Each structure stands twice: as structure tokens, then as C-alpha cells.
Amino acid sequence: MDKFENIDDLFAQLGNDERQAPSEAWEYIIADQKRKRRAGLLWWYYGTAGVLLIVGLMGYYQFKSDKTNLQANNLVTKKTTDKKTADKKTKISISNSISNNNNIIENRETPRIIAANIVSNIIQKAFANKPIINNSTAKTDALDRVIVQQKQEESIVKANVPTDEVVTPPTTTQNNVLPKVQEDKKDKTIRKIPTPKIQKYFVEPLLMGTYNSRRLKGGADMTNYIDQRNASEVKLLSYGVGIIAGKQFSKNWNVQGGLLYNIQGLTASYTVSSAQKKVFVEVDPTMKKYDTTSNYIYIHDSAYRLEKGNAINGDQKFHYIRIPVIFEWQMNIKKTANIFYAGAGMSLNVLLAARGDIQDYQSTRSGVFVPINQVSLQRLGFDFTGGAGVLVPWFGRPDWKMSFGIRGMYSPVSAFSKEVPIKQHNYSLAFEVGVRKTW
């Protein structure tokens, strides 16, 4: 008979021990890999869709904005030209000359506008705090220069022509020449008075600090469990990041959408005052069905019923991605002033992952680590959101602003613990800081 020198050697045999591994373990491992792959793909899908949406919106509004500018400028040109044609009959040669020159200017309107746009943009950027110079101002300056030039030409013509050959134009016409042109200019100037430009769209990356809480409701035979959870759960400060883009559709209103990611965390610590009945279940292959239900996310496959007197301590983390649509109202729209805003809307939320790590360290099942929680949570849902804040000009730059805001979110989520449905009401309060670039 073999003998062992000491107790360690006797037990060292266990190192070579083999036991039959359960057949379903391999299936679980494969299922887990598939789930991770799906989650990864989901990230890519939503990320790509979000980026494409933002880029598409930016491109569309840029194109639309350029087109509108050109159409408006062409309209002004056409009206001016028509008016000049009507007046032309009563004007003397010198006024014809001015008119012709003006026509030359007007005929060159489109390339000039484009050039003026570029120049005025550069000037705006260089003198961000100075009054805004737009293309109509530039054009008016050009007209002023032409008028001065024509006055000089007129005096030269008068000086060189012999007195007897001078054809004196009708007094009325003569008196009307310059005033007419100036009237023309005045008319244009009135039509083109620089008005505060409404910056049509914006993009804002932001960071959020989120304070979360939840209330559980429902669940037959689960009153004690629900009450204990509601009483014991502690709110945790978690974080989020995101990017939103929006369009100003009137002076005070804008609509915005984007992509927000945040982790909602909770922690709980309490002692079970009565044993749960249907909440926590033993490892059961039938629970797999939640894994395959597309609209529900699986938290953990195994859980144990908790007996009275067990102390519970643990954390939960819910990883959410949100696609919000928010209508925002702004007050005090000035480029260099603080703008106050308030907004409300809804968002589609996608629960990317959830994990409930709760330990039962005084369980009657000695040494057992007990991962428990709702078996499944609704994967897709909606939440309601509302908030307010202030946009502060960033170092005097009119198109960059820092935003500081507070946002509240509420989302009702359906959950299941085996066959028992529970309603989970999530409440979050987010403090946001962002940088808003407007165009």
C-alpha cells in the first residue's frame, strides 16, 4: 500500500484529479462569445450611424446655406438691374455711364459675392469682437468707390468739352443724376442692412456627471424584496460622454440630436428580512430563454435564493447609449452674451450591457459568491429628458461657446426575474459641460 510522508503529499494527488465537466458549459461559453460579438457590432452600428448622421446633417445644411445666399444675392442683382433699366431713359450720358458701370458691378455679383464672403469671413475671424462685416457691407463700399470715381470723371469731361458744344442736359435730369444714384445706393443699403446672423447649426461634444437612482415596482410575492431594494439602494455618481448636433429653426428655437453614452451605477447594502420567493433562482437551463429574447438583455445566468438574515452588498452597472431628440429654447440671443437655454425631449435608449454583482457573504451556502439580480432588462426603451443651462462665449469668440447645464432623465424599464415582471423606474440627474461650435 502506498504511504505518504505528510498530509500535503496525500492531498497533492488532487492536482491530477479529473471530473466530468458539464456538457452545457461549452454551449454557454460559445453563447457568451456570440453575445459579446453582437454587443461589439452594436457599438459599431450605432457609432457609425451617429457619425454619418452628424456629417450628413452638417453637409446638408452647409450646402443649403450656400445655395440660399447665392439665390438671395442674385435676386437683389436682378431687382437693381430692372430698376436701372427703367430709369435709364431719363438719364443723361454721364448717368448712363454710371448705370453701365453699376451694371458691370451687378453682372459680376456672383463671383464678387463669393470673394466678399471669403474676405468677410477672414475679417470676422481676425476681428471677432469687432462689428460684423458681411458681404452686403463690402458691396456697398464698392459702390461708394464707383460713385466717387464717376464724380471725378464728370468733372474731367466738363472741363475738357468746348462751351459751345456742351449739351446741357435737362435741369431736372441733371439735378437728379447723383441723387438718383445715391438713392439707388441708399435703396440697396436699406435692403442690405447687416442684420444679426442667426447661426443655423451647431455641434457640441459634452461630458456628463450623472447621479442615478431607481425605484422598483411590481412583482407578485416580491413586496419585501422591492421595499428593501428601494430603501437600501444608494445613488452613485457616474459619468457619461456624448456629442450632440442641432439646427436653429427660428431665432429662439433649435432641435438637436446626437449620441450619448453613460454608465448608471447603483450600490446596495442591506439585510434580507424575509426570504425571497421567486426573485432569485437556481441555475436553470430554462433561464437561457432570456438570452435569446432580442429585446431583453441578460445580466447573469445564475442566482441563488437568499434566505432570511443574509447580508447583501453589491454594485450594479448599466451601460446605456442614448439617441436624444430635444427641442431647446434660447433666451438673449447675442453673439457675445450669455445665452440661457431650456430644453426638453425624448431619447431612445439602448442598454448595451448590464451587470449585477451582488455578493451574499453570510449565506447559508458557505463560501458562495452569489451573483444576483433581475435576470433580464429591457434592451430598448425611451426616456424623457429636460434641462436648462447657459452658453457662455468662449474667450470672446462669437461662434464658440461653453455650455454648462443640468439635465434630468426619467426612463421606465421593464425587467424580468424569471417569470416575474418588475418595473424599474430610472431617474438620473446629469451635470453637463460642453463646447458648442456654431455656424
Partner 1 sequence: MTKRNYIDQLDEQKIIDGAIKKDHACQKWIYEKFANKMMAVCLRYTADADEAKDLLQDSFIRVFDYLHQFRHKGSLEGWVRRVVVTSALNHYNVSKRRFTDVDIDSVDWEKGASYTPYNAQYTMDELTTLIKKLPPMAQTVFNLFAVDGYSHNEIAEMLNISDGTSKSNLFRARALLQEKLKQLEQHSYGQVREHR
Binding region for partner 1 (CB under 8 A):
1-22, 25-26, 28-30, 32-33, 282-283, 301-302, 357, 359-361, 365-369
Least gap, CB of 306 to partner 1 (angstroms): 14
Least gap, CB of 286 to partner 1 (angstroms): 15
Contact 36, 98 (CB under 8 A): no
Residues in the chain: 439
Question: In whole angstroms, how far apart are CA 280 and each of 24, 275, 318, 402?
Answer: 21, 10, 19, 48
Sequence-distant (≥ 6) Cβ neighbours of residue 86 within 8 angstroms: none
Least gap, CB of 41 to partner 1 (angstroms): 14
Least gap, CB of 384 to partner 1 (angstroms): 35
Q: Look at the alpha carbons of 79, 82, 84, 87 in this order and tell me if their dihedral is positive or negative.
A: negative
Least gap, CB of 314 to partner 1 (angstroms): 8
Instruction: Label residue 342 exposed, middle or buried (CB < 10 Å: 0-12, 13-18, 19+).
Output: middle
Of the pair 40, 56, the CB lying nearest partner 1 is at 40
Closest Cα partner for 426 from 265, 237, 296? 265
Contact 217, 425 (CB under 8 A): yes
**Strand pairing partners for 344?**
327, 386
Of the pair 281, 415, the CB lying nearest partner 1 is at 281
Least gap, CB of 360 to partner 1 (angstroms): 8
Of the pair 9, 183, the CB lying nearest partner 1 is at 9
Half-sphere exposure of 122 (CA within 13 A, CB side): 6
Of the pair 27, 144, the CB lying nearest partner 1 is at 27
Of the pair 154, 301, the CB lying nearest partner 1 is at 301
Least gap, CB of 412 to partner 1 (angstroms): 31
The 3-state DSSP class for residue 241 equals: strand
Q: Look at the alpha carbons of 212, 213, 219, 221 in this order and tell me if their dihedral is positive or negative.
A: positive
How many Å apart are CA 64 and CA 58, to the nearest integer?
10
Of the pair 128, 353, the CB lying nearest partner 1 is at 353
Of the pair 197, 365, the CB lying nearest partner 1 is at 365
Q: Which DSSP category does 195 fall into?
A: -
What is the chain's alpha carbon radius of gyration, rounded to the nearest angstrom? 37
Least gap, CB of 28 to partner 1 (angstroms): 5
Of the pair 236, 346, the CB lying nearest partner 1 is at 236
Closest Cα partner for 419 from 246, 296, 267? 296
